[in-house]
Structures are given as C-alpha cells and as structure tokens.
Structure 1
Amino acid sequence: MGFVAFIAERGALLRNIWIAAVLVFLLPALSAHASDRLTVVLVGDTGLNAGGAPVDARGGWKGGRLVSGAEALAGIAPWLAGDVVFANLETTVMDRNDIAARDKMFVFRMHPQGAREFVAAGINVFSLANNHALDYGTRGAGETLAHVAAVPGLRAWPGLGRSREDAMRPHVFEMRGMRVAVSAAGNAGGGLPARAGHAGMLQERTDFPAVAARLKEETADLRILSVHYGREFDPLTDAVNVARFRREAAGAGATIVAGHHAHVAKGVEISGSHLVAYGLGNFLHLGTQNMARFDICRDFGLLLRVGYARGDEGLKVETVEAVPLTGMHLRVVPMEGAAALLRLEVLNYLGGQLDGEDARGLRFRPQADGSGLWCAAGATDARCVGWEEPEVSAREGEVAAACGRVVTRGSL
C-alpha cells in the first residue's frame, strides 16, 4: 500500500471513529429531546352512521345519502395531530346487516371502513365502553372487538371483553419513549362472561372503582381513564361525580379522566396533578341531531389538546387548548369568530364551578384561530409568554342562566 493510500485509509478510519463518538454522545440527547414532550388530543362521542341504518363500506347514512369519513372529517383533521388521540367510539362495528338489534330507541352500527377512516384522520385510541356498545347484543360487541382490533394504526381500544378481567384490562402501548395505559368504563353494561365470538362490558355505576384500581396497577407514564356517565344535556357536573372522579380516578393515578355521554361540553379542571375533562360532548356522529338548535351551553362539542412536558417527577401539564366544535352531526369543524369566543366564555364559566380544595377549573384565553389556551405556571411553551387568566365574561349572567336550565330528551 502506498503512503498516500495509507494516509487516506487512516484518515477515513479516524473520521468514522470521530463520527461514531459524536453519535454516542448525541443520540441519547436527541432521543431525550424527542421524547420530553407529548401531545394528547381528546374528543367525545364518535360514529359514522345514522341510527339503525345498514352498514356500507362507502360511508355512513345521513339524510338519505352516504357520507364518507374523509368527507365528514376534512374540516377538523389538522386539529387531530397529536401523539395520543382519543375518541369515544359510540357505535358497534360490523361488516354485516344480519345481526338483530336490541329493542331500544336508538341503535348504532358502523362499517369497519369507518373506523379505518377515523384512524387515518389521526385518532389512535378508541374507548369502546358506552351505552351503545351492546346495541346489537353481545354478538355485535364481539364483532366490534374483532374488527377494531384489526384496524392498522390503532394503539388501544379498551372497554369490551370476553371476561371481566378482559373488559377491565388497560390497553398499554409505547409512544415517544413513554408508556401509555388506557382503561374505559361505560353505562348500560352486561354480557360477561361472554361466549366465543361475543363480548360484554362492565357497568360504570358499579365497576368504576375496580376499573380505576386496575389502571393504577399498570406501570405507565400516562394513564387515561375513559368514563361514559351522567345525565344527558346537562353541562353542569353534580357534586357527587366531581367527588367521585377526584377520589377514585385521581387517587388511582389517572393522569387524564375523559368523560362523555351528555352530548354537551362540560368544565375542565386540574385536580392535583390530574386533568379531568368532565364532558367532551359530541365529536362526529352521523346518528346524532344537529346540536345547533340548542342554547349556547349545549350547541357545541369540545376538542382538547393537552401539552405535556416530562421532568424529574414525570409528565406535567403545560398547556391545554380548547376548540369549540360545530357540525358534529355531519361535517365537524372548529367554531370561529364571535361564536367561538362565546363558547370559550361558557367553558370558563363551567370551569369556575369546579374550583375547590386542590382543584382549579381551567379558564381559556381566546386565540386568533378561535381556540382557547390555558397555561400552567412556568410553562415553557412560547405561546405562554405573558399568558394571563381571562377576566370574567360580561355575559356571565346569560351563560349561567342557559347552563342552569334543565333540558331532557322528553322536553326537546
């Protein structure tokens, strides 16, 4: 080997050694930087078909025409960008129309293609525990469980199972180097244990403490507890459920409690180190009515984007974005302008009803895009520079009167 070739070879070897050494020091730092933030998106009741309508791979039925998931979600897709994106899937999932429905006012079924389209839009966690999970009996629930488990990109789908332990078991996955565990409890459960090909669900009213306790046993950086509960059309959360969520859920180590079922948005709080969304309202469900017919406390859904930073004591909430939604019955989009501002004032009023010992209802400062932003003290997010809690709305009396009305399905 000539002298020049020798020097070139040695030079290349030293360069490779230097690159390898640099990578040894940099990769852990880069990895830590990549996983020191986590964004969690939460939305409420979701489904892609009208009540009792046949399933069709081309979309769901609404007003006599087929609507695809891509069409219905196009206006909200940018807001679904996140690491963990949660929705309550309030429907059965099947590719057949020969399973008999239960005898009830509203029954929902959706083609598996609809579930795939929701996931393609960004959702990667479904709760399956709610009062429509058994609309087509335990056989329909078994179909749901089988089809949802086969959706590419879906990371968790708790709430249904073939045994009590199966229905209670948290679904666990890794995201950005963090361990995420998700559990779900819903109303109108039953059917456990279920025979082969069927599935059942635990009952929120009696099994909620056990589901929360089982979630606590799971080693995780982030624990999400989904709860389908309460009275429909009521934006206020009663003291019993507030105490229950703080005691059972936060006490069980749930990082996030995601509540739904009322079809309307409720207040959001930080209880200790835990975020509680008492009601997310509707997200996108073709089987629901147009909520625009209701008053300002009931005519919108809620999308939350929660920004976490990881420190020495684990994950900490730094920011919460609130996005009021409209068109949840057909094509869901964010509210804008004065309409969005007023609904943020509604959320701030509802948050104010949640203040208590070691708990603070969130107040959202309006942003230019129509969303609201809450920032924790010391948040490092650039949007939080100079952030202050908004003042009490001049329309608080109007908001309080609307939210205090008693609205039931029979009074509509």
Structure 2
Amino acid sequence: MALFATLAQADDRLTVVLAGDTGLNASGAPLDARGGWKGGVRVTGAEALAGIAPWLEGDVVFANLETTVMDRNDIAARDKMFVFRMHPEGLREFAEAGINVFSLANNHALDYGTRGAGETLAHVAAVPGVHAWPGLGWTRAEAMRPHVFELRGVRVAVSAVGNAGGGLPAREGRAGMLQERVDFPEVAARLREEDADLRILSVHYGREFDPLTDAADAARFRGAAAGGGASIVAGHHAHVAKGVEISGSHLVAYGLGNFLHLGTQNMARFDICRDFGLLLRVGLTRGDAGLAVETVEAVPLKDMHLRVTPMGGEAARLRLEVLNYLGGRLDGADARGLRFRPQADGSGLWCAAGAGDARCAGWTEPAASAREAEIAAACGRVVTRGSF
C-alpha cells in the first residue's frame, strides 16, 4: 500500500476516496463512548475499520454518515422502523482512520428529529481533521451551502442533498435538511456557482436494492456534472453498488452501497449484484486545464455490517464483472461506463487514455464476462428487504 501515499503526496496528483453508507451503532441501541453495538457485542470504530484502513489513504476521503451523532440518550427517536445514533467518539475514530468529508444528508439524518440533527451538526463540526460536513442546516440557505476548504493548493467544494428531509427553518439548537426530489436542481446549481477547482456532489436517492440506474436519474446526474458543475457525483442509499461512468470529463458514481454500518444487515445473503459494497479511489492529475480524472480504482467490499474488508480472489473478480456489466449499460453519446480490469490485490483499475500513472502501462479495457447472462438476470431481478 506504500504506493498510495506516494500518489497522494505527488505535487501533480490528488487522490479522492469515495465510500458509501456509514454509522457505528445498531438501530435504537444506547450510546457508548467505548463503541457501537451489534448483536449485543460492542465494536469500536478502529476495530470495524482495521481491515479497510490502508485503502482510506488519500487527500479527500468521503463517506455518507447515515446516522445522527450525539452523546446523550434522552432525545426521543421518531416513530420509524430503523433509527440510528452514534457517539461522537466513534466519529473521531472515523476521522483518525482518514475520513475527512462527511455527507449529513440522508433519510436517517432526522431520526431523532431536528433536535438530534442539531446535535449532529455541533458534534461533527468539533471533530479534528474533518474538512466538510454538508447537508444539514439551521436555514434553507445553510443546508444548501457548499462546504469549501483548501488542500494542497486545491480549492474543494462539497454539497449534499438527500431524501426524507424537512424541518427548515429550524429552531435554535436544531437543524433541518433539504429534500432531494425537490431541491436537487438548486443544490447542483449552487455548487456550480462556487469558485472551486474540485466540486463534489453527494446525493442520497433512489430505490433500495436496485443496482440498475434509472434513465431519469442518469440525466439529472449528468446535468449536475455538465457545464463546469460537479467534478464528482457520489450517489448512495440503495445499499448496493451501481455503475460508474465518465460523463464528459466528470466522474459519476451512481451507487456506492454500504461502507460500514452496524445498523445494516449482512448483505452476503443476497445475490452477486447485491452482496458487496463499493469503495472508489479516484486519481486526479493537475494540469493547465485544471484537474482531470486519470485513474479510478474499484474495491469490492464485504462484511459492511460489522468489520468491513476488501473482497479478494475470484469473489472480487466476479463483483468487478458485475460493475463492468452495470457500467456497460451506461454507455451513451455523452457518457462512457467504466470497465475495471482486475488487479492482483482484488481491486479493479480503470485508466484514462494516455494516463501517466505507472500502473496504467499496457492497460486495456477488459472483455465482457463469460457469466454476463447470469449477471444480467441477477441484476434485473426485483428485490425487496424481505427477499431471499
């Protein structure tokens, strides 16, 4: 993994890591500074991330924080099937592992009401090393505002919008969230207006357990990236990985799946299109025309419900073939789905034409999977939470 540090520190390169749904406690479990709870066992953030930690080395390391953050057990939960809260100590462990950008806009941000959302904002802002935490706000303008920071001479702007929002304007000490289906165009437009070298848009959206990308969603995500808009669009919520594409010169990841969340089920019970999470490592190069995507590494994940680790061997290879199938469905006049060539460490690598990264020497796009018919049947199946 030493190569990662070299790339992240090179003057002409920037590494952006993208991870999906994240939290450190089971639904409704009590708060404990010593860790989150899963099946009656307490798990620390360091333990849960130990197997993935080397892959989190990067300049901008993003995750969707799908939970409230608080250090008190006296705030009432909303009447929902699943409600999530975690202790700020766990968030500090996430930051110590390298995650420095969190999206706060998702359907669990208001699990403990606007009061719980206010606690989240206060605690996330106090964690050392966290550069941005967009998605919640005390007013509509605050919730829509991109979080901006500078890193190694690069000005980065991050915005987030998610489903099941509300509670704006919020009372003192509380916070609310915009609603993705209504506010997506305005959030994307506001991000486009921001003076930044790198713009990242986080979107929590869509139908759970569906690995296929809806044409309408593809159109609006590509629209958000067009015309100098979002350099990277990161989608999540479905609990499963979706295809990845280059739209113009911008990267669109339609679904990152679960990353690490003690409140989620073991996805190993599902089929090959749904039983893994996805971590992406995006290599950007700096030139006269600005930042450009040079490489994308795809890391299939397992055990996202407890102690997340990369898949390896044939299991990883098959999930990369799933991603390649999903990417192929995204090909169009203004977009190209990414196909990842398997690497010895279980990751997949995509290289832009003319990439100067040494790992790209001799890189060619992989052929279609010999199991494509099986993959297509699995990915096309309608699956619900109670399936299998």
TM-score (norm 2): 0.97
The correspondence for 2:63, drawn from 87, 94, 102, is: 87
Distance 1:280 1:160 in 2: 21
Q: Does 1:235 align with 2:211?
A: yes
The structural deviation recorded for 1:410 is 4.3
Structure-2 separation of matches of 1:125 and 1:90: 13
Aligned to 2:117: 141
For 2:137, the equivalent position in structure 1 comes to: 161
* Match status 1:265 vs 2:241: yes
TM-superposed CA distance for 1:35, in Å, is: 3.2
Q: For this pair of structures, how many residues does the alignment match?
A: 380
Contact 1:35-1:177 within 8 A present in 2 as well: no
Unmatched 5+ residue regions in structure 1? 1-32
Q: What whole-Å deviation, never above 9, does each CA across 1:22-53 have from its counterpart, x for those lacking one? A: xxxxxxxxxxx953210000000000000000
**What RMSD in Å do the two structures reach over aligned CA positions?**
0.9
Q: Which residue number corresponds to residue 373 of structure 1?
A: 349
Q: CA deviation at 1:251?
A: 4.1
Where do 5+ consecutive residues of structure 2 fail to align? 1-8
C-alpha deviations, 1:226-256, integer Å up to 9, x for none? 0000000000011110111112343461000
Distance 1:154 1:306 in 2: 19
Q: For the residues of structure 1 that align with 2:136 and 2:228, how far apart are their CA atoms?
A: 21
Partner of 2:103: 127
Any idea what SS the aligned residue of 2:201 has? strand
Higher helix proportion (structure 1 or 2): 1
The one-letter code matched in structure 2 to 1:52 is G
In structure 2, the partner of 1:115 is 91
Give distance in 1, aligned partners of 2:296 and 2:192: 24
Task: Map 1:36-47 onto structure 2 (within 5 A).
Answer: 36-47=12-23
1:57 aligns with 2:40: no
- Correspondence 1:155-194 to 2 at 5 A: 155-194=131-170
Partner of 2:181: 205
Aligned residue type for 2:43: V
Which structure has the greater CA radius of gyration? Answer: 1
**Equivalent residue letter for 1:97:** N
Instruction: Give the Cα separation in 1 of the matches to 2:111 and 2:144.
Output: 20
Q: Which moved more, 1:240-249 or 1:266-275?
A: 240-249
**Are the structure 2 counterparts of residues 249 and 209 from structure 1 closer, same or farther at C-alpha, using a change threshold of 3 Å?**
farther
- Say if 1:99 and 1:140, in contact at 8 Å, map to a contact too: yes
Q: TM-score, normalised by structure 1?
A: 0.91
Residue 279 of structure 2 corresponds to residue 306 of structure 1: no
8 Å Cα contact 1:35-1:178 kept in structure 2: no
For 1:276, what is the secondary structure of its paired residue? strand
Q: Percent identity?
A: 86
Q: 1:251 to 1:190 in 2, by over 3 A?
A: farther
Return the offset for 1:358: 1.8
Spell out, residue by residue over 1:385-405, the C-alpha distance to the aligned partner (whole angstroms, 9 max, x if none). Answer: 000000111000000000000
**Residue pair 1:162, 1:195 contacting (<8 A) in 2 also:** yes
How far is 1:262 from its partner?
0.1
Structure 1 residue 170, shift from structure 2 partner:
0.3
